[in-house]
Chains A and B, each alone.
Chain A
Amino acid sequence: MTTKRHTTKKQADMVAAVILLLIGIYVSIEVSGYTKIASLDIGPAFFPRVLGVLLIVFAILLAWQAKSKNDQTQVVFINRNLMIVFGLVAAFAVAFNFLGFIITSVVLLTVLMRLMGAESWKKAILVSIITTIVIYGVFHTFLNVPLPLGILEPLL
């Protein structure tokens, strides 16, 4: 995977159209399996079926528009820093239940602050710890939301 990707607006719109088209097709297939309920009610499949068909129509229109407009403006989707952030978010999603709020929050905050331009690690870590404790405290005490502590549970 290269870090620098050049995507034009036309390509981006095309990809969006394809994704929307796939969603539309998926919906149409999924609802065809829904049971028909014999009554006056038009049933659970009707509304999503109409939406699925319309989505397919709009996706095709979008693709057609993108093709005929041929907009070559560059769109940058991702760079190194954003890739690190996405990786961090994925790691957070996996580790949250185990590590708990305090650890994940301090790590996330520190890395994000440094990536966004905080002067030093020391300062970033300090601000992260203070912020995390304040947020934890406010939600725990005032709002009655116990944020999970994960492996820190036995310590507190």
Chain B
Amino acid sequence: MENLWIGFANVLQLKYILLIMAGVAGGISIGSLPGLTATMGVALLLPVTFGMEATSGFLILIGIYVGAVYGGSVAAILVRTPGTPAAAATVFDGNEFSKRGEGGRAIGISTTASAIGGTISCLMLMFVSPFLAKFALKFSSAEYFALAFFGLTIIASISAKSLVKGLAVGMVGLLISTIGLDPMTGYSRFTFGSYYLFDGFSLIPVMIGLFAMPQIYTSVLDGLDEFDIKQKVTRILPSKEDVIKMLPTAIRSGFLGTFIGSIPGAGADIAAFTAYNEAKRWSKHPEKFGTGIVEGVAAPEAANNGVTGGALIPLLTLGVPGDAVAAILLGALTLQGLQPGPILFRDHIDLVYTIFAGVLIANIFMFIMGILGIRMFTRIVSVPKYYLMPIIFILCIVGSYAINNSFFDVLVMLGFGIVGYLMQKVEMSGSPIVLAMILGPMAEENLRKALVMSEGSPSIFFTSPISLFFLIAAVGTIVWPIVKNIRNKSNGNSTTDSGRKSA
């Protein structure tokens, strides 16, 4: 508790407050723009934070994350196009409000629900993380290997429509992570003799390439949609009845979002859809979902902001990112010379609690800006994208260059941009590559260290209960969808998952 007060005392300096505010405002703007995602925003602005000290840099990125996940709902409600994938589920009911001329009311509900979800996840982050970190201190190589392995299987199985594609992409990501000098022996792997590759590919250019460039190429291919908001947005502050109506749904969805966020690989979009379906299932009048009801907006919005704090739990305590944005945040910490994980809690406890406090403050600003300033943000939706997209292209180039002042990184970014575009075309997601690049070295090093400790006997992974648990969970993640698939087929395909795809 004492640490928490120190954290708040740290954050409540004018400098940090201003940075978080700027981050949240920037995040809401990015989120409001269809085509710009939270992942892209954080990846693009990461290079800007290099020059700052660790806390400032991290807090501004947190602000962007929280703001962007919320901002996606504005376009979802007003123009029927989610600003970010996280807001895709908000379209169903949110846009119905707009059709009735109640766009402002829907935004008010979304703002309140987002703040509730975000706050719940932040409280969970504050109270769960220290225990998890203490627990993780006991982890040795075997447990870390099993954890990384578990994380990788989940990422592969949920990030793509097809399990095989997810697994194949994950393998490619792991192979990319082995490029460079082998950390244990110094042996050079897949470097083609080029010293540029001795350290492997830098994570940030790969991420910018995979997450930002495909969007640009797709808009060149398909042309741009421009949005013009004619509706006057009025009455943002939700009425008492609306708040009372949404409260149970928002709280449940906030917890659900936090939980989904804390699972490696599952991000805000999955959380929002799951929460929407759960809210429908719990509801006494499920048939009203999709007609513009309070719960239909509150559930996905509370859940997607619930992810923000949830994703930070495994990131800070175990060094395993909860979703793609958390992977970039991990990159941000590593660039500052900080290694997330239990050691961070031991050696930099002040920073950890400052982050906790910062997440809460970011949620508060998100609420205030959403209620007071949303009219301004709705204008952003109509900013001409034919100016914006090219500028983002240049920012991708400059951002990649800035990391090491090296043009090689720009080439890496451009290369992965094209790879990412082609992958999108064959319905493969880029996230497994990025997460595998982070978890790969963790898996390999700990696998080898564990085997050295056990003198080559693989039994070390099965005698530790924690390691065994993760390994069983990992196998389950892979086998379960296959079993379900086979069972569905033998049942005459009657119960294919009606959730995400039909929704």
Contacts and interface: CB of A to CB of B under 8 A. Distances in A.
Do chains A and B interact in one complex?
yes
B390 A109 contact: yes
Contact of A112 (B164, B384, B390): B390
Interface residues of A, number: 68
A48 B172 CA distance: 10
Interface in A18-44: 20, 23-24, 27, 30-31, 34-35, 37, 40-44
8 closest pairs, A vs B, by CB? A112-B390, A116-B386, A58-B168, A44-B182, A44-B187, A55-B171, A117-B386, A145-B402
A62 B162 CA distance: 9
Contacts of B189: 31, 34, 44, 48
B414 A89 contact: yes
Nearest to B402: A145
Interface string B170-211: 011011001000101101011000000000000000000000
Contacts of B172: 20, 23, 55
Contacts of A97: 407
For the residues of B in contact with A, the DSSP-based class is helix
Given A112-B390, A116-B219, A145 B171 contact: no
B398 interface: yes
B168 A20 contact: yes
B113 to A, nearest CB: 35
Contacts of B224: 116-117
Given A77-B422, A113-B386, A145-B398, 12 more contacts: A34-B187, A35-B187, A61-B164, A85-B220, A89-B414, A105-B397, A109-B390, A143-B47, A143-B48, A145-B402, A145-B405, A147-B401
Interface string A75-112: 11111011001100100110011000100010011001
A121 interface: no
Interface stretch (B227-235, B308-316, B368-376, B449-457): B449-457
A93 B415 CA distance: 10
Interface in B151-176: 162, 164-165, 167-168, 171-172, 174-175
A107 B414 CA distance: 17
Contacts of A117: 223-224, 386
B456 A43 contact: no
A142 to B, nearest CB: 7
Contacts of B162: 62, 65
Nearest to B168: A58
Contact-residue bracket for chain B: 35 or more
Nearest to B223: A117
Nearest to B183: A44
Interface string A108-129: 1100110111100000000110
Interface in B486-503: none
16 contacts: A23-B172, A40-B452, A42-B448, A44-B187, A46-B448, A48-B190, A58-B164, A58-B171, A82-B221, A92-B414, A93-B410, A97-B407, A105-B397, A113-B390, A135-B395, A143-B47
A104 to B, nearest CB: 9
Contacts of A52: 175
A59 B168 contact: yes
Interface of A: 9, 12-13, 15-16, 20, 23-24, 27, 30-31, 34-35, 37, 40-44, 46-48, 51-52, 54-55, 58-59, 61-62, 65, 75-79, 81-82, 85-86, 89, 92-93, 96-97, 101, 105, 108-109, 112-113, 115-118, 127-128, 131-132, 135, 139, 142-148
Contacts of A96: 407, 410
Given A41-B448, A96-B407, A116 B220 contact: yes
B393 interface: yes
Contacts of B465: none
Contacts of A144: 51
Contacts of A93: 410-411, 414
Contact of B426 (A16, A35, A131, A145): A16
Contacts of B252: none
A93 B410 CA distance: 8
A116 to B, nearest CB: 4
Nearest to B443: A47
Contacts of A89: 414, 418
B28 interface: no
Contacts of B1: none
